Structure 1
Amino acid sequence: MSKMSIDPGRYALSGPTMGTRWSALFYRPAPFDPEPVRCALQAAVDEVDAQMSTWKPDSDLMRLNAAPAGEWVTVPERLMEVLRLSLAIGRASGGAFDIGVGDAVNAWGFGPAAADRNLVQKAFAAPRRPVHEVLELEFECRRIRKDSPVTLDLNGIAKGHGVDRLAETLRNFGIASGLVGIDGEMRALGLRPDGEPWTIAVEKPDRERRAPYSILALQDAAVATSGDYRHWVDVGNRRLSHTMDPRRGAPLLSPPASVTVVARTCAEADAWATALMVLGPESGGKLARRLHLDALFLLREEGTVRPQPVGYLFGGGPSNGDGGDNSFRSKLCESAYPGAPSSEI
Structure 2
Amino acid sequence: MAEQNFVDYVKICCRSGAGGAGSVHFLQDKHTSMGGPDGGDGGRGGHIILRGNRNVWTLLALKYRKHVIASPGVNGRGANSSGADGEDVILDVPLGTVAKDAETGEIEFEITEHDEIRIIAPGGRGGKGNAFFKSPTNQTPRHAQPGEPGREEWKILELKVLADVGLVGFPNAGKSTLLSVVSAAKPKIGDYPFTTLTPNLGIVSYRDEKSFVMADIPGIIEHANEGKGLGLRFLRHIERNSTLLFMVPADTDDINREYTILLRELELYNPELLDKPRVLAITKSDLIDEELKKLLQPTIPKDIPYVYISAVAEQGLMELKDLLWESINSVPKDTFNQHIANPHRMMHGSRSKSSEEE
Structure with more of its chain in strand, by fraction: 1
TM-score by length of 2: 0.28
TM-score w.r.t. the length of structure 1 is 0.29
